[in-house]
Chains A and B, each alone.
Chain A
Amino acid sequence: QVQLQESGPGLVKPSETLSLNCTVSDGSMNSFYWTWIRQPPGKGLEWIGYVSDNGNTNYNPSLKSRVTMSLDTTINQFSLKLRSMTAADTAVYFCVRGLPLQPGDFFDYWGQGTLVTVSS
């Protein structure tokens, strides 16, 4: 059974950079889109983007100028960096496995989510 687990700070100061990692257990990282999705408290889901197994990335244009994703298959981990954080970035951040349909995909395994609050 594939498991994903987010790790990182729960509190970030305005203007700082958020760094989150996601560790993938019991599964290969090959042939998937390793995705980040966020959900502000009480609101809907926002796709941030993905990094594929070959390192290609695809970001939401609304966040593209501030986002970097990467992965390290040797330790079964992928990561998200989001720069210049503001209160509007306060959300639960989910790491997710995307299974490609070519085109398209679907999200079959999710981490439990980690709440990130932006506050001084």
Chain B
Amino acid sequence: DIQMTQSPSSLSASVGDRVSMTCRASQNIGNYVNWYQQKPGKAPKLLIYAASNLQSRVPSRFSGSGSGTDFTLTISSLQVEDFATYFCQQSFTTPETFGPGTTVDIK
């Protein structure tokens, strides 16, 4: 199975901050990474697909980059509603696997 790791596991930030988090795959997966946001008690929500494509109706402050084994999710100006856990997921091969998540909380 392809292992996905995320760093940091958690971060504290303030509204308006630029925030970045990384996801690393255990092997080359091209651009087959998707990013999701999950709030407590809710289903994950798709933010970015295929590494850098913004899902419809997702605010443009979210962006994704990377290819191969290293990927980044960036929030350009953190808003109150962005405090949540973010997961990366690889779809390069099955079984599809998720990273353990990065939790963004209020500083």
Which chain B residues (60-107) contact chain A, with CB distance < 8 Å? Answer: 87, 89, 91-101
Number of A-B contacts (CB under 8 A): 59
A interface residue count range (under 10 / 10 to 19 / 20 to 34 / 35 or more): 20 to 34
Report the stretch among A7-15, A19-27, A58-66, A74-82 that lies at the interface.
A58-66
Most buried by B among A101, A103, A104: A104
Which chain A residues (20-56) contact chain B, with CB distance < 8 Å? Answer: 44-47, 49
Interface SS of B by simple majority: loop
Q: Are A94 and B50 in contact (CB under 8 A)?
A: no
Q: Are B46 and A106 in contact (CB under 8 A)?
A: yes
- Please pick, from B34, B45, B55, B87, the residue contacting A44 in the complex, using a CB distance under 8 A: B87
Instruction: Give the residues in chain A near B101, CB-CB below 8 Å.
Output: 44
B interface residue count range (under 10 / 10 to 19 / 20 to 34 / 35 or more): 20 to 34
- Identify the closest chain A residue to B30 (Cβ): A104
Q: Are A107 and B95 in contact (CB under 8 A)?
A: no
Q: Are A103 and B32 in contact (CB under 8 A)?
A: yes
- Please pick, from B34, B49, B93, B98, the residue contacting A46 in the complex, using a CB distance under 8 A: B98
- Identify the closest chain B residue to A64 (Cβ): B95
Give bound CA distance, A105 to B93, whole Å.
Answer: 10
Give bound CA distance, A108 to B48, whole Å.
Answer: 10
Q: Are B43 and A113 in contact (CB under 8 A)?
A: yes
Given A101-B32, A101-B50, is A106 in contact with B98 using a C-beta cutoff of 8 Å?
no
B16 at the interface (CB under 8 A from A): no
Q: Are A94 and B43 in contact (CB under 8 A)?
A: yes
B8 at the interface (CB under 8 A from A): no
Instruction: Give the residues in chain B near A49, CB-CB below 8 Å.
Output: 94-95
List A residues at the B interface (Cβ < 8 Å): 44-47, 49, 58, 60-62, 94, 101, 103-108, 110-113
Nearest 9 interchain pairs by C-beta: A104-B91, A110-B43, A106-B49, A104-B32, A45-B98, A60-B95, A47-B96, A106-B34, A44-B100
